[in-house]
């Protein structure tokens, strides 16, 4: 296993070479002035693009331009993002923890709910609970994120939100954004210290349960939106996989030996049925870490997805390139983690 992981890690640079070559090749479709924007790191440099074109040889052959871009990227200069009015690397460093926090919190109900409902449906095949969960999965998978997100905002930020606030004495409010205005002011003036930019962790480190609750309640609606759609697919895959596993010969043999159904279902059948679910869960996490564009935009959540949406609309090429490189890294590492989880769940799997 260790040798396999080392080989996969050594393969990562070649993936990045392929991705970056493709990016720079696509950049050749742009004019030299537009390509020069990828090397801009301040507003002042935007006024002197001719000097940047000459400095980085953007009118030179492709291999010269590629070497210049890679050289700057290795030094942390991914260009200046007009969508965030700051360097791309700085924007990624600030916004990645926000998207990661949303992704990791969302993954808990996504995987837990999907596996639980899928198992429940498979063990009660064609019964009422199976029919209800299947219909719910179809509805959840078919419902667009932005539609569900808007409904939740209207429901909880509007009418029902007033009822909940009255019931909780004004202490409960579900609203868009990452934190309330009061907490945002504390972060801006340094009253609340930022150590990791994961607000749930920073609030615990600072001993601020009020900030923890504030950040958590801002995650509730986005997490519900993501869980309702993503867990639906995991539930359907889990149900199909478990039904197929329950029909295998070794499961019949286990029952013939007199083992209790609970042991057969959860120790033997479900563990093997989890393998395709792990693949799906791994790619779900990759998708969430890349920044859920629509969900973050609907809830005004300051993560990578919202930034990328703004950058795409504004044709912010440096931001798009930086986001693409980050996506390639997340996909490669995510695939490696999925393969490792395979071996943990199923000891029969061995990597040479």
Q: What is the pLDDT of residue 286?
A: 79
Range ranked top by mean pLDDT from 59-68, 200-209, 289-298: 200-209
Q: What is the pLDDT of residue 212?
A: 92
User: Quick one: what percent of the chain has pLDDT higher than 70?
Assistant: 87
What are the C-alpha distances in Å from 35 to residues 42, 58, 127?
15, 7, 60
Beta-strand runs (E) in the chain: 80-81, 86-87
Domain that holds residue 236: 86-345
Domain count, the chain: 2
User: Quick one: what percent of the chain has pLDDT higher than 90?
Assistant: 4
Name the DSSP class of 266: I
- 190 with 262, same domain: the answer is yes
- 64 with 123, same domain: the answer is no
- 129 with 90, same domain: the answer is yes
Last residue of a domain, one of 81, 115, 131: 81
User: For all residues of the chain together, what is the average pLDDT?
Assistant: 80
- 156 with 29, same domain: the answer is no
- Sort 18 into a burial class: Cβ within 10 Å, 0-12 / 13-18 / 19+: exposed
Name the DSSP class of 80: E
Residue 352 lies in a domain: no
Contact in structure between 321 and 38 (CB atoms under 8 Å) = yes
Residue 222 CA to residue 288 CA, distance in Å, equals 11
Residue 170 has pLDDT above 60, yes or no: no
Residue 341 lies in a domain: yes
- 176 with 283, same domain: the answer is yes
Nearest to 278 by CA among 246, 237, 224: 237
- 66 with 92, same domain: the answer is no
- 71 with 211, same domain: the answer is no
Residue 284 has pLDDT above 70, yes or no: yes
Residue 195 lies in a domain: yes
Residue 325 lies in a domain: yes
What is the DSSP track for 115-169?
Answer: HHHHHHHHHTTTSHHHHHHHHHHHHHHHS-HHHHHHHHIIIIIIIHHHHHHHHTT
Nearest to 338 by CA among 275, 290, 257: 275
- 146 with 116, same domain: the answer is yes
Residue 34 has pLDDT above 70, yes or no: yes
Residue 334 CA to residue 283 CA, distance in Å, equals 7
Confidence of residue 337 (pLDDT cuts 50, 70, 90): confident
- Domain of 327, CATH number, reads 1.10.3720.10
- 73 with 91, same domain: the answer is no
Three-state secondary structure string covering 173-205? CCCCCCCCHHHHHHHHCCCCCCCCCCHHHHHHH
Contact in structure between 230 and 110 (CB atoms under 8 Å) = yes
- Lookup result for tokens 């934190």: 179
Question: What is the chain's alpha carbon radius of gyration, rounded to the nearest angstrom?
Answer: 24
Helix, strand, coil in percent for the chain, rounding step 5: 75, 0, 25
Residue 350 lies in a domain: no
Q: What is the pLDDT of residue 47?
A: 67
Residue 197: both structure tokens together: 């930019």
Residue 179 lies in a domain: yes
Confidence of residue 45 (pLDDT cuts 50, 70, 90): low
Other beta carbons within 10 Å of 48: 12
pTM of the model as a whole? 0.80
What are the C-alpha distances in Å from 58 to residues 51, 274, 345?
10, 50, 50
Query: Residue range 346-350: average pLDDT?
Result: 61
Residue 292: both structure tokens together: 């859920």
Residue 351 lies in a domain: no
Write phi, then psi, for 80 (nearest 5 degrees).
-110, 130
Residue 309: both structure tokens together: 């949406």
Name the DSSP class of 60: S
Residue 33 CA to residue 183 CA, distance in Å, equals 41
Element (H, E) at 48: none
Residue 89 has pLDDT above 80, yes or no: yes
- Sort 335 into a burial class: Cβ within 10 Å, 0-12 / 13-18 / 19+: middle
Residue 239 has pLDDT above 80, yes or no: yes
3-state secondary structure at position 55: helix
Residue 75 has pLDDT above 80, yes or no: yes
- 57 with 192, same domain: the answer is no
Residue 252 lies in a domain: yes
Last residue of a domain, one of 65, 81, 97: 81
- 282 with 305, same domain: the answer is yes
Q: What is the pLDDT of residue 243?
A: 84
- Lookup result for tokens 């009118």: 59
Last residue of a domain, one of 81, 113, 141: 81
Query: Residue range 36-56: average pLDDT?
Result: 68
Q: What is the pLDDT of residue 19?
A: 80
Residue 311 has pLDDT above 60, yes or no: yes
- 53 with 113, same domain: the answer is no
Residue 149 CA to residue 109 CA, distance in Å, equals 17
């Amino acid at each position: 296993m260790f040798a396999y992981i080392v080989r996969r890690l050594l393969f990562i640079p070649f993936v990045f070479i392929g991705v970056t070559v493709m990016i720079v090749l696509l950049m050749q479709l742009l004019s030299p002035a537009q390509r020069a924007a990828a090397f801009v790191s301040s507003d002042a440099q935007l006024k002197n693009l001719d000097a940047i074109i000459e400095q980085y040889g953007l009118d030179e052959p492709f291999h010269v331009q590629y070497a210049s871009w890679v050289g700057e990227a290795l030094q942390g200069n991914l260009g200046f993002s007009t969508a965030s009015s700051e360097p791309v690397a700085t924007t990624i460093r600030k916004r990645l923890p926000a998207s990661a926090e949303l992704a990791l919190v969302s993954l808990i109900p996504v995987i837990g709910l999907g596996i639980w409902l899928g198992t429940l449906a498979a063990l009660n095949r064609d019964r009422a609970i199976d029919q209800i969960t299947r219909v719910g999965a179809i509805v959840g998978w078919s419902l667009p994120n932005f539609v569900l997100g808007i409904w939740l905002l209207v429901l909880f930020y509007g009418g029902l939100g007033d009822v909940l606030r009255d019931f909780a004495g004004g202490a409960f409010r579900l609203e868009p954004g990452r934190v309330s205005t009061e907490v945002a002011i504390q972060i801006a003036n340094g009253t609340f210290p930022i150590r990791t930019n994961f607000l749930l962790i920073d609030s615990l480190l600072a001993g601020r349960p009020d900030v923890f609750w504030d950040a958590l309640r801002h995650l509730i609606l986005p997490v519900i939106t993501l869980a309702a759609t993503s867990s639906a697919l995991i539930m359907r895959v889990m149900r199909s996989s478990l039904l197929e596993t329950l029909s295998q010969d070794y499961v019949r043999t286990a029952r013939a030996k007199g083992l209790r159904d609970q042991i057969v279902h959860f120790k033997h059948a479900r563990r093997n049925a989890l393998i395709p679910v792990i693949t799906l869960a791994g790619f779900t996490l990759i998708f969430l870490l890349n920044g859920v564009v629509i969900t973050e935009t609907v809830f005004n959540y300051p993560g990578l997805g919202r930034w990328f949406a703004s950058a795409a609309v504004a044709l912010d090429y440096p931001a798009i390139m930086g986001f693409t490189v980050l996506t390639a890294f997340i996909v490669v590492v995510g695939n490696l983690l999925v393969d490792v989880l395979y071996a943990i769940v199923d000891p029969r799997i061995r990597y040479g």
